[in-house]
Amino acid sequence: MTGQIIGSVAAPMALNIMSLFASTWFTESLRATAGMFVASNYGAILVMFMVPNITKTAHDIPMTLSIVGIIALSAFVCLLFMPTKPPHAPSHVTNQPRPSFRRGLVLLSKNYSFWIIFLIQGINVGISIAFGTIFTQVISPYGYTDAQAGQINAIGFFAGTLGCAAAGAVLDLTKQHRLLLKATPPLIFFSNLGFYLLMKSDSFLMVLYLTVMNQTFVSFLVPVAMETGCETAYPVSEATSSSFLWQGAQTFGFIIMAVMDCLRDPQGAPHNNMQRALLLLTILTGFMMVLAFSFNGRMCRSEAIEQEKAQVEKEAFEKQATCPHNKSGKDGGSDNDDDKNNDKESVICRS
């Protein structure tokens, strides 16, 4: 239990670092991809497939814990040698002064676009947390075993990681934050609607297919929502905005899971089915879809970067325009003294 508590305390810190790490170390062309690598739970995938194969009996548990501890210790040692910041900032926007934490909270409280993203991220990740936690209880009334539930969950988790990876690359390539934010929630809605309408016995492949689709689209939306939230919250620090988004998602997950458990139907057919809970998830994803369609916030961070680029290009053009160039004589010759003076001035301009 002590180990679980320590791990639970550390998990939010790892999640909150995603956006700040990406903006500190990477340019805007790689920011979403870098954040995706931080957000993806490759370790969880490794554990899901590794631990059951090496832990055959209770006597194997200490060995398994030792292996996990060695992996964690190796990652910690690498962090000790990692510098705080890169030698050169990826953009001048990164070095711009940011509001204090308290001032950032004031700015966020007035930013309605950010709160739309907050609700989208909270519902999306919250449903994923709640559904994944009680997934076995959702499908077991229909005759599926714990082993089958574990297999479906593991494959769905792997599909979610692929969706998250694809989102980072697509977002960096297109920079279409609003389009991706509005295109993904309908896919999540229809996958949850499929769970509500098609959940039945002896449909293992159908449940597996819906789980894979749902987890792919849910995980695809996570980096999109995180990056969009940081964009619309600028100049508030990414550490502040991403912290709100992640902690809100954790809170939503706890609430949704508790409500889903209360919606269990002990008198229904089959016994203890959770059809009402699946209906709740469908309604919530429908509401999330409406929120996504209503979002029209500005991409303030990208706009600041574009203004910075335009200013740099303008200064370079003005500097080039003021530099005197060698002039060829109209009479077929040139004055040597003038050539020397022009050469000296050109050197000064280039320096």
Has residue 25 got a pLDDT over 90?
no
Q: Facing residues of 273 across strands?
A: 265
Report yes or no on 248 lying in a domain. yes
Q: What is the DSSP letter of 141?
A: G
Query: Across all residues in the chain, what is the average pLDDT?
Result: 81
Report yes or no on 107 lying in a domain. yes
Q: Please report which confidence band the pLDDT of residue 93 belongs to, taking 50, 70 and 90 as the band edges.
A: low
Within the chain, how many helices (H) and strands (E) appear?
Answer: 15, 0
Has residue 44 got a pLDDT over 80?
no
| CA quadruple 178, 167, 27, 225: dihedral, nearest 10 | 50
Q: Please report which confidence band the pLDDT of residue 96 belongs to, taking 50, 70 and 90 as the band edges.
A: low
Higher pLDDT, 347 or 159: 159
Q: Please report which confidence band the pLDDT of residue 75 belongs to, taking 50, 70 and 90 as the band edges.
A: confident
Two structure tokens written together for 37: 């690598």
Report yes or no on 337 lying in a domain. no
Distance, in Å, from the CA atom of 12 to the CA atom of 18, rounded to the nearest integer, reads 10
Report yes or no on 242 lying in a domain. yes
Which one of 3-7, 49-53, 106-110, 280-284 scores highest in mean pLDDT? Answer: 280-284
CATH code for the domain in which residue 274 is found: 1.20.1250.20
Report yes or no on 314 lying in a domain. no
The whole-number average pLDDT for the span 110-120 is 93
Q: Is 32 helix (H, G, I), strand (E, B) or coil?
A: helix
The whole-number average pLDDT for the span 336-341 is 52
Which domain does 286 fall in, by range?
Answer: 2-40+97-298
The whole-number average pLDDT for the span 312-321 is 76
Return the percentage of the chain with pLDDT > 70, whole number: 79
Q: Please report which confidence band the pLDDT of residue 301 belongs to, taking 50, 70 and 90 as the band edges.
A: confident
Report yes or no on 237 lying in a domain. yes
Q: Is 264 helix (H, G, I), strand (E, B) or coil?
A: coil
Distance, in Å, from the CA atom of 93 to the CA atom of 306, rounded to the nearest integer, reads 10
Higher pLDDT, 164 or 215: 215
